[in-house]
């Protein structure tokens, strides 16, 4: 087929995938250009390492190429793609045991690099340092979460997917998802608060130990 | 959240400072997470993907790959055809081996009794007699 513009959305993802089935590498290239950033973001937040995230990104699109025939169109293409990405990230974490290798400090350093590159565009150096510290703390807190919690937080807060899509990607039933997400968020808040060095106090009321997943001590509804 | 439920909560938040504080805290945390920048790959990963998905120019097993990538219906049809073929060959072999199904009769001559039977042997079991006959010619 002729060259398709990378962001020409008149050609749908599904049409491109259909072309991938026929071994059209140009179609895969367009799919890659369209989705590399969100997929990379997910992988980077899960793996906390640029090299591994890049390798995993390549793996994801090789899997898309090979599994193009298995896409039935029951779900959205992006949901299917994120599902492959989430499974690839899990495989990476398990096979290389990154979780054991990456310490909290590594997270601080790598996120620090990202923050520095973002800060290079800002004017006030004091402001950029504050921003860098803030990003480093959030990144370190994310690294402190379990694999499942990190995936939920990444999909909901960073990829901004809705509950239905997240439920499909993670295989968690929709009813359970909100509770799990709430608990993951509370754990992240707790870790952030610990890294901030401040008092956890009110932030942690009824968070992780609360089996119902709801806050204790809230006032009565009138 | 919609309609009456949302209105009820809004009304409650106006009067309850504790819930308002909790909401503000959650919103502040949302804003904190929203400030996390989008990261981008440092290298052009497409080069890796392209190298690993390069279509082969020639493969002796192209037909095999095509069958593997064929749809479920085609696979089912191929499997059904294979089963039918095997069944037909089995039935045919079974019929050939059942020589007792073939008709047989006895012909009585003046000096000799000749028994004729259906057989797979084109010489009908008279190989030796035929060789002897040829020898006399």
- The whole-angstrom separation of Cα A207 and Cα B28 is 17
A58 vs B34, B52, B71: nearest CB: B52
Which 3 state secondary structure label does DSSP give B114? strand
**When comparing pLDDT for A206 and A187, which is higher?**
A187
| Chain A hits for B32, Cβ within 8 Å | 134, 138, 192
pLDDT beyond 90 at A168: yes
Task: Please indicate, yes or no, if residue A210 is contained in any of the structural domains.
Answer: no
Task: Please indicate, yes or no, if residue A90 is contained in any of the structural domains.
Answer: yes
Angle made by CA atoms A164, A165, A170, in degrees to the nearest 5? 100
Please enumerate in sequence order all residues whose Cβ is within 8 A of that of A67, keeping only pairs 6 or more positions apart, or say none: A84
**When comparing pLDDT for A155 and A204, which is higher?**
A155
Determine which helix (DSSP H) or strand (DSSP E) holds B26, and give its type and residue range.
helix B17-34
Distance from CA of B27 to the nearest CA of A (A): 12
Distance from CA of A58 to the nearest CA of B (A): 5
| Chain B hits for A55, Cβ within 8 Å | 48
- The whole-angstrom separation of Cα A184 and Cα A181 is 5
- The whole-angstrom separation of Cα A38 and Cα A69 is 23
| Chain A hits for B17, Cβ within 8 Å | none
Angle made by CA atoms A180, A185, A189, in degrees to the nearest 5? 150
Closest residue in A to B29 (Cα–Cα): A189
Task: Please indicate, yes or no, if residue A179 is contained in any of the structural domains.
Answer: no
Beta carbons of B49 and A58 less than 8 Å apart: yes
Query: Would you state the pLDDT for residue B118?
Result: 65
Query: Which segments of A68-197 does DSSP mark as H helices, in order?
Result: 77-96, 98-101, 104-119, 125-143, 147-153, 163-170, 174-196
- Best mutation target among B6, B50, B53 (most A Cβ atoms within 10 Å) is B53
**Residue A213 confidence class, pLDDT cut points 50, 70, 90:** very low
Which 3 state secondary structure label does DSSP give A110? helix
Task: Please indicate, yes or no, if residue A110 is contained in any of the structural domains.
Answer: no
Task: Please indicate, yes or no, if residue A97 is contained in any of the structural domains.
Answer: yes
| pLDDT digit string, tens, across residues B34-67 | 888 888 999 999 999 999 998 766 556 656 666 6
Task: Please indicate, yes or no, if residue A53 is contained in any of the structural domains.
Answer: yes
| Chain A hits for B21, Cβ within 8 Å | 202
Kindly state whether A185 is in contact with chain B, defined as any CB-CB distance less than 8 angstroms: yes
Identify the top-confidence range among A110-119, A205-214, B94-103, B106-115: B94-103
Beta carbons of A221 and B55 less than 8 Å apart: no
Query: Which segments of A22-49 does DSSP mark as H helices, in order?
Result: 25-47
Q: Helix crossing, A50-67 with A77-96: angle to 10°?
A: 130
**ipTM score of complex:** 0.71
Q: How many structural domains comprise chain A?
A: 1
Beta carbons of A185 and B45 less than 8 Å apart: no
| pLDDT digit string, tens, across residues A97-152 | 655 555 555 555 455 555 555 444 444 666 667 677 888 889 899 989 999 999 99
B41 vs A57, A158, A202: nearest CB: A57
Task: Please indicate, yes or no, if residue A73 is contained in any of the structural domains.
Answer: yes
Q: Would you kindly state where each structural domain of chain B is located, as residue ranges? A: 102-136
**Dihedral (CA of A78, A187, A207, A185) sign:** negative
Q: Helix crossing, B3-15 with B17-34: angle to 10°?
A: 110
State the residue range of the domain holding A26: 9-101
Return mean pLDDT, chain B. 79
Asked which of A50-54, A93-97, A176-180, A209-213 is least confident by mean pLDDT, the reply is: A209-213
Task: Please indicate, yes or no, if residue A135 is contained in any of the structural domains.
Answer: no
Q: Helix crossing, A163-170 with A77-96: angle to 10°?
A: 50
Length of chain A: 222
Closest residue in B to A190 (Cα–Cα): B29
- The whole-angstrom separation of Cα A65 and Cα B49 is 9
Residue A80: phi, psi to the nearest 5?
Answer: -60, -45
pLDDT beyond 50 at A219: no
């Amino acid at each position: 087929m002729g060259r398709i513009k990378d962001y020409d959305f008149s050609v749908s993802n599904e049409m491109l995938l259909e072309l991938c089935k026929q071994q059209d590498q140009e179609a895969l290239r367009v799919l890659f250009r369209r989705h590399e950033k969100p997929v990379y973001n997910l992988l980077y937040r899960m793996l906390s390492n640029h090299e591994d995230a890049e390798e995993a990104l390549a793996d994801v699109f090789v899997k898309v190429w090979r599994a193009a025939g298995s896409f039935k169109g029951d779900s959205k293409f992006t949901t299917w793609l994120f599902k492959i990405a989430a499974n690839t990230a899990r495989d990476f974490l398990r096979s290389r045991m990154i979780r054991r290798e990456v310490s909290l400090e590594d997270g601080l350093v790598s996120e620090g690099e990202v923050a520095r590159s973002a800060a290079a565009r800002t004017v006030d150096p004091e402001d950029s340092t504050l921003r860098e510290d803030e990003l480093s703390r959030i990144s370190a807190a994310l690294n402190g979460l379990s694999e499942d919690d990190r995936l939920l937080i990444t999909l909901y807060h960073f990829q901004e997917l809705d509950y239905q899509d997240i439920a499909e990607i993670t295989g968690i039933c929709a009813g359970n998802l909100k509770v799990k997400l709430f608990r993951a968020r509370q754990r992240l808040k707790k870790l952030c608060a610990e890294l901030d060095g401040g008092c956890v106090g009110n932030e942690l009321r009824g968070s992780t130990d609360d089996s119902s997943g709801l806050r204790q001590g809230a006032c009565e509804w009138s | 959240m919609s309609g009456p439920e949302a209105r009820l909560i809004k009304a409650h938040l106006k009067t309850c400072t504790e819930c308002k504080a909790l909401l503000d805290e959650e919103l502040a945390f949302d804003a904190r997470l929203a400030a996390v920048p989008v990261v981008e790959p440092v290298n052009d990963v497409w080069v890796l993907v392209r190298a690993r998905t390069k279509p082969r120019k020639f493969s002796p097993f192209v037909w095999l790959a095509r069958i593997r990538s064929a749809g479920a219906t085609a696979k089912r049809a191929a499997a059904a055809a294979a089963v039918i073929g095997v069944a037909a060959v089995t039935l045919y072999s079974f019929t050939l081996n059942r020589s007792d199904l073939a008709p047989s009769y006895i012909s009585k001559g003046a000096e000799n009794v000749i028994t004729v039977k259906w057989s797979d042997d084109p010489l009908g079991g008279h190989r030796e007699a035929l060789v002897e006959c040829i020898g006399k010619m």
